[in-house]
Each structure stands twice: as structure tokens, then as C-alpha cells.
Structure 1
Amino acid sequence: MTSTNGNGNGHRNGRVRGYSAWSLLRHGLSRSEWPRAWHDRELRPSYDAVIIGGGVHGLATAYYLAKNHGMTNVAVLDRSYIGGGGSGRNTSILRSNYLTPEGVRFYDRSVKLYEHLAADLNFNVMFSQRGHLTLAHNDASMRTMAWRTEVNKLQGVESEVIGPDEVKELVPYLDTSAETRYPILGALYHPPGGVVRHDAVVWGYARAADAHGVHIHQKTEVTGIDVERGRVTGVQTTRGRIATPVVLNATAGWSSLISDMAGVAMPVQTFPLQAAVTEPVRPFLDTVVVSGTLHVYVSQSDRGELVFGASVDPFASYSMRGSLEFTEGIAGHVLELMPALAKMRLLRQWAGLCDMTPDYSPIMGPTPVEGFYVDVGWGTYGFKAGPVSGEAMAACLAEEKPPEIISAFGLDRFLSGRLVGEKGAAAVGH
């Protein structure tokens, strides 16, 4: 059986794609060029489909279009480099313990795809299912956890409500005493949840899509979308015009601006979401820990760093700069949960952009402009949905109708009032 290493190359008995351990060392010391994981290709004047956004959603859609539907004359365009947007600015947490049946089914399919993604792409995405804890600090939160547990179980997703003693057993460093400002009354425990290496997922999908013949064009900004008689005819870019009958908006942060180019208004607001990491320490935190009351989530990376995040900033903005206010707030809240971390030092912080919809669920599928599709409005939970979104949107583009798994997330729900309210499971971020 062929496994994968961190670079995504299959290896058997110590050999990597024809390289022995010695030849790998010699190649590294010689400073010669490694073969590219995907090609730099000439921009064609036309494609069967153009995907705007070179993150996990856009690349996954291109990959599944080629793999599942034989549609390979596809271009993925990114204004910068692939994975340089939300896919490279998240905290890489995966879970499926959402609140609505539609959301649970959708994210559970994504977790299932993630479980086999390394083998599917022949690229080690470093998926670690270490469990996910959502802490409850009051009676209302406990009721919500019980509600989510029952919805999860009805959809076949493993979740349960546990008490403070079980929480302490899973995470000994948590302060579960009754004397704290926000005592831990219990938690929603979701064993399938975990973390993944976000850049590995992006690179794996890019390499696999390229191998199927998909064209990946970095540093190619879309400046306009051509619409004639109510349907898409092409896109304008900084490298020239591309004729195409199908355009997918798979961007984060600028999704409403891209949709405006096609004359389609999106009920989306963009907010910064900040995160930070500490210096690396000995591994001690196996489980992802989330507190909605304190607006904080924390996990430990394979390098030993603690990765912190919070809810989105309280103001709409396109800024991706960190703030001292965030640092002070996140440090205080983490220490309320785990006082023993007081002497740890923060190494760096960053921000990404989150497109929030009124009901905290994404917008997926066709729009009033024929041939213009959207996969947007992901808020703080887009990365965990990458595989299932790619699979579903590929089917939507190829078959020209939304598959059942995303039928509830259409743009028309905001006119009909059929909202998919996920604030209770998504408002904290992760």
C-alpha cells in the first residue's frame, strides 16, 4: 500500500517516486530545482468554465469537475497566489456538529471526504481527528448543546453532552472548578472533529486538478464579467479577455464585489477574523476546545504551537491587519480557561476576511444570470466545507442544477424566507 509524506509524494519502502533516501539528500544539497507540483500554462482565449478564486473551494470544484464529470477545459483564476486568501488564513478546524439538519448533513459529508482525501489526492493533508469540545458555561448553553446533540444523532453524526469531570479528563489543563468567573457546566463532545493542514489541502487539490488538465492561473485578477441578454459570455482579466459560458464565484472577502460585476447583488457583509499562534511547546492539548461564551477556540498544531481564534471583529472591513485589542481579549479569555498558559508568548497574529450572510449559512448554486454560479458567504467556516462544496458545485455546474445536498443554500431563500439559521452553531467561529 502506498502512503504519503508531507510533500505529497507517494513512497514505498523508503523510496519516494523513484528517489532513494540518498538521492533525495543529494538532490537537496545540490540546490537543483524540484519539479513543479502544477504547471504554468498559457492563458487560453476560451474555456468551458472559469472559476474565480484559487482557494480550496475553487480548486476542489475544478478537481471534481475533471474527476467526476470529465470536464477538463477549466480555468481557475486567482488575483494573487493559490491559497493566499481565506484558505491560508484560517485555523484549520474541521467538524460537522452543526445545528440544522441541512447543515449537519452537509458538513458531515465534508468530514467523510476529508477522511479519505490524502489517499484520493495522493497527498498527505495531515488530517487529525482528535475530537472537538464546545464548552457550556450556563444553563442556556447546556440546552443548546443538548439540542445540537439530538440533531446530530438524527443525522448519524457522533456527538454527546458530557459533564465537567469528563471534560477535565479530556483536557486536564482546563479549569473546571466552580470558583471561576465562567464555570464549565459541561460540553458538546464531537469525536470526529479535528484539524488539518490547510496549505497541504490547497496544494493537494491544485496538483490533482492540474494532473487532470485544469489550468491554474495565478496573478490573474478578474476585472469584469461580460453578460449579454441575461447570460454570461466571458470574463475580463488583467491578462486579457476569456470567453466562457460558465463562471463560478468561489471567492471569500470579495465575493460581493465579484458578483456585482455580473449584476447579481449578494446579501453579504465582510468582516475581519483574527487569529494568533504561540511559541511551540510540548504537546499537551489533544482536543480542539471552543467556548462560545468567551468567544475563543484553541487547538495545538503538530509543531507544538497553540492556535487561537475568536469571533469576527465587530465592524465590517476589508482590513487584514491584527489589532492589540484582539490580542488582549484573546489572551484574557484563554487564561480564564487555562490559567497555566500565563507565561506562554504569542509569536504572531493575522486576520482573514469572512463573508457573513443573514442566516450564517452559505449561498450556493445558480443566480438570475444564466451561467453565473456562486459558492460564497462562508463566514468563519468555509475551509471545513471545501471538499463537499467542490463536489457539490462541480455537479451543479456539470448538470446545470443544484444537487440535493446544497438545495437549501440557494440565493432564492432570502426572497422566500426559507432561511437556514446556523448562528447557534457557527457564530463563535469554529
Structure 2
Amino acid sequence: MSLHLLKLGLKGTDDEPRFFPQPGELKSRYDVVIIGGGGHGLACAYYLARDHGIRNVAVLEQGYLGGGNTGRNTTIVRSNYLTPEGVRFYDASLRLFQDLSEDLDINLFYSTRGHYTLAHSDDAMRTMRWRAEVNRHQGVESWMVDRDQVAEAVPGLDPDCGGSRPVMGALYHAPGAVARHDAVAWGYGRAAAARGVELHQKTRVTGIQQYGGRVRGVTTDRGTIECDSVISMVAGSTPTITDMVGLPTPIEIFPLQACVTEPVKPFLNTIVVSGSLHLYLSQSSRGELVMGSAVDPFVLHSTRSTFDFVEGLADNIVDLMPFTARLRVVRQWAGMSDLTPDFAPIMGTTPLSGFYLDAGWGTWGFKATPISGKTMAETVATGRNHELIEPFRYTRFRDFELVGEKGAASVGH
């Protein structure tokens, strides 16, 4: 028994510090207001305070910290994207993830598993080879494997998929990993608060004040705040915020659902994705199979779960791994995916001075948490886009310089 645990047993927990400090009333003015208390918002607050000395910062969350898409994803971390811009960006995030437990002094349960993206057709095989070449040119460990190698690496997999869509091969991404999503948000939040950032939950932004072509403050259901900079990091709620400042975006919101099974003895030590079957799965540290599919095929601002999703997913999962037919689904949930036409995010400065946007994350926002926070913090501190996010700038749609990431982002989560 540790000395700390013995002390708690004898003295109780009254003297233990809160994980997050109890916030007081909103101040009348902050240097920076971050809208959204998910992973991205809390990471940005942390890096603003740690790297740039900007501590007069308020994070405003309409619900509870990490309660949006950060708490509704399937925790996969990878960088096997299709475009050089995407690979560089997500690889930088993956590298930050690898040391993040030590940096934030919290166990994130980060576990490198390897990531197999299955190919079921000649076209899919060509796309996987394309991705492998782009990855390796950027120094990322990805390569093609054949059908037999996939079958050997994934216990219980039926390479014939019940005879419908046989596996022909796969893109193997060695650094693919999983991490505890809640702990990422909590770790960033605690570390930011320790450096003077204020975290305000149950605080809804109702308006954004602007004058002379720049941001002047925000209005909330708890009062009005003056500030020099506002950063919107609210994922599926992005249209609500951008409408407040009259900023048009091509973002559409689609529900994204996932589920977990009852826990079973650990057997799957890798991540498996199939674009053709519209599924992905991994096994958690508690033994559950964490499973999901592509976004729902309709625009809807909702986090409802549906029977249609779990029925279709189960049908494909059983084709791929027949023994899973015996498992029970114990929980399912949904998030709101903010998708752009080129399946890449919108990040950085906007035409409204002092208003910064971090949005368009679709189904891949969790894996971008560290690098999103770090690059957005530098962008706000310097007033210009960080080089890693310049390709994802707001004006790329006007300039017809889209990134084209759909081939690596549709169901790769």
C-alpha cells in the first residue's frame, strides 16, 4: 500500500485538492476567450499559458468539460493520411501524444497497437498503395500487407468476409494507437487551470460582440465579457457560433455513432478499419470491443442513437469476425461531426480580426487534440497561422485550394 493511500484511509479526503479548481464569477475582461471545453479548447488554453505566457484566459463550456465529441469518440490516434499536409499535421499530433502522459502528469492509457486499413477491391488496393507512398515520403511508418498477413495479425478474422467482400490486403500503419479520451481532456484542463486559466462550465455563449471589423467581447447566459480574441472550438456546434459573427462556412453536421460490447478476454491487439464495410474496431483496456461506422447519411444536429446503426454495423462486423455474433452490445452513443467538402479542418485566422476558428473535424478530431491546441495557441499569440495549419486556412475555399483528404478520413477515425 502506498503512503498516500494510507494517509487517505486514516485522514480522509477533506484536505485533497480538487481536480479542477472551483471557478468564481466571470471577470469583466479576459485576453482570450475560448468557446468549447473539449480536448481542443483545453489543449489550446494549456499551450497559451505554458508556451506563450497568456494566462488571462477563460474557457467557456455550455455543458461539462469533455462532454461533447471528446467524450463521444473511439480514441484512435493515427497519421496515415492521404495528403502530405494531412500526414505532417497528424504525425506531429501523434508525436505529442506519445509523451503527453508525462507532460500532463496523468495516465492517458496511451497504447500503440498498429492500424490495419483493409482493402476489398482493386481500387481500394491502389488507394492504400498511394497512402503508403505518401506516408513514407513524410517519414511515417506505413506499408502494404497481403491477405495472409492480415489474417495472421487479426485473430478471429474471416478473410473471405462471409463470401461477400473478401479482404485483398491492407495498409498497415505501425504507430496507430488508442488513448483514454476523457483523461486527455481532464489532463489538459487541470494543467491549464494550474497555470491560471479559468474553466467555466455550464456557461453558454449567446452572442459575440464586434466593432470596427474586430472582436470586442462575448455575451453569455452569465453576463458579458470583454476580450481581444475569441477562439471557436466547438465541433458540431460550429454553425451556431459562426452565425453569430456572420461568417459563412461550408460545414455540414452529420451524426456519428459508435458502440461497445460487453468485456471479453483480451485478444485484439490492433486496430482494424474497413472502408468498404464501413466499420472500425479495437479492444479497450477493459476488454470491450469499441466499434463504429461512417457518419449517418443525413444532415442532423443531434446526438441520438438509432437501431438502424447498430443493426447495420453488427451485420458487417459478423461477416468480418464471425465469433462476435455471440457478444452483447452494452452501450451506444452519437456525436455531431462537422464535415467540410474536402474532409480537412478549417483552422486559424478569419476575416474578422480577433476571431479564430478551429472546426471541420468530421470524424478525426480527437487524434488532432495536442497539435490543434499547440498550433492554435501559437496562431493566436502571433496573429498569423502556424505553418502546419496554413493549408487548412479559412480562405482556401475562396482560393480553390482544397486539401482533398476524403480518401483517408471517411471511416478511419
TM-score, normalised to structure 1's length? 0.94
Q: Residue 418 of structure 1: SS of its match in structure 2?
A: coil
Aligned match for 1:395, one of 366, 378, 381: 378
Query: What is the one-letter code of the residue matched to 2:7?
Result: S
Alignment correspondent of 2:219: 236
Q: Is the CA contact (8 Å cut-off) linking 1:310 and 1:429 kept in structure 2?
A: no
Shifted more, 174-183 versus 125-134: the winner is 174-183
Aligned position for 1:417? 400
Report the equivalent of 1:172: 155
Counterpart CA distance in 2 for 1:33 and 1:310 is 45
1:115 corresponds in structure 2 to 98
**Alignment partners' CA distance in 1, 2:322 and 2:315:** 9
The code of the aligned residue for 1:343 comes to R
Which one is further off, 328-337 or 164-173? 164-173
Tell me: CA distance 1:77–1:294, structure 2 relative to 1, closer, same or farther (3 Å): same
Match of 1:8 in 2: none
Deviation at 1:20, TM superposition (A): 2.9
Cross-structure match for 1:4: none
Deviation at 1:172, TM superposition (A): 2.1
Distance in 1, matches of 2:52 and 2:192, equals 13
Match of 2:22 among 34, 37, 40: 40
List aligned pairs for 1:83-122, cutoff 5 A.
Answer: 83-122=66-105
What's the counterpart of residue 278 of structure 2? 295
What CA distance in whole angstroms lies between the structure 1 residues aligned with 2:279 and 2:217? 43
Q: In 2, Cα distance between the equivalents of 1:313 and 1:76?
A: 30
C-alpha distance 338-26 of structure 1, shift in aligned 2 (>3 A): farther
Secondary structure at 2:163's aligned position in 1?
Answer: coil
8 Å CA contact 2:108, 2:184 repeated in 1? yes
Matched residue SS, 2:368: helix
Distance of 1:24 and 1:201 partners within structure 2:
26
Q: After the TM superposition, which residues 150-229 of structure 1 pair with which residues of structure 2 at under 5 Å, given as runs?
A: 150-177=133-160, 180-229=163-212
Q: Give the C-alpha shift of residue 263 in structure 1.
A: 1.6
Q: Work out whether residues 152 and 158 of structure 1, in 8 Å CA contact, stay in contact via their aligned partners in 2.
A: yes
* CA root-mean-square deviation: 1.3
Match for residue 7 of structure 2 among 23, 35, 49:
23
- Whole-angstrom distance in 2 between the partners of 1:84 and 1:266: 24
CA distance in 2 between counterparts of 1:165 and 1:178 reads 14
Partner Cα separation in structure 1 for residue 46 and residue 231 of structure 2: 14
Q: For each residue in 1:391-424, what CA deviation from the matched residue of structure 2 results, as whole angstroms up to 9, or x when unmatched?
A: 0000000000001110000010000100000100
Select which of 261, 265, 271 maps to 2:248. 265
- Partner amino acid, structure 1, of 2:203: T
Per-residue deviation, residues 236-273 of structure 1 (Å, max 9, x unmatched): 00110000010000001110110111121111000100
Q: Are 1:340 and 2:323 an aligned pair?
A: yes
The DSSP-based 3-state class of the residue aligned with 1:123 is coil
* C-alpha separation in 1, matches of 2:244 and 2:22: 27
Pick aligned residue for 2:39 from 48, 52, 56:
56
1:39 maps to amino acid: P
Q: 361-370 or 175-184, which moves further after superposition?
A: 175-184
Task: Give CA deviations for 1:283-313 in whole Å, capped at 9, x if unaligned.
Answer: 0010000000000000001110001100000
Give CA deviations for 1:135-186 in whole Å, capped at 9, x if unaligned: 0001100000000000000000000000111111211211114862111100
Give me the whole-angstrom Cα distance separating, in 1, the residues matched to 2:114 and 2:58: 37
Give, in angstroms, the shift of residue 332 of structure 1.
0.4
Q: CA deviation at 1:33?
A: 7.4
Q: Which runs of 5+ in 1 are unaligned?
A: 1-13
Deviation at 1:193, TM superposition (A): 0.5
Deviation string, structure 1 residues 178-205 (Cα, Å, up to 9, x no partner): 8621111000000100110000000000
Deviations, residues 215-237 of structure 1 (Å, cap 9, x unaligned): 10000100000011110000000
Q: Give the letter aligned to residue 421 of structure 1.
A: G
Contact 1:110–1:386 (CA under 8 A) maintained in structure 2: yes
- Do the aligned partners of 2:347 and 2:357 also contact (CA within 8 Å) in 1? yes
Structure 1 residues 359-402: Cα deviation after superposition (integer angstroms, max 9, x where no partner): 00000011111000000010000000000000000000000000
Distance 1:178 1:210, change over 3 A: closer
Q: How is 1:359-398 mapped onto 2 (pairs within 5 angstroms)?
A: 359-398=342-381
**Count of matched residue pairs:** 412
Please name the residue that 2:292 is paired with.
Answer: 309
Change (3 A) 1:68 1:182: same
Partner of 1:415, secondary structure, is coil
Q: What is the CA-CA distance between 1:32 and the residue it aligns to?
A: 4.9
Residue-by-residue CA offset, 1:69-122 (whole Å, 9 max, x unaligned): 111000100001010100000000010000000000000000000000001111
Give the conservation status (yes or no) of the 8 Å contact 1:312–1:429.
Answer: no
3-state SS, counterpart of residue 58 of structure 2: strand
Aligned-residue offset at 1:56:
0.5
TM-score normalised by length of structure 2: 0.98
Q: Secondary structure at the match of 1:241?
A: strand
User: Letter of the aligned partner of 1:37 in structure 2?
Assistant: F
2:214 and 2:49 map into 1 onto residues whose CA distance is 24
User: Aligned AA for 2:121?
Assistant: N
Give the CA deviation at 1:41. 2.2
Aligned equivalents of 1:141 and 1:345: distance in 2? 31
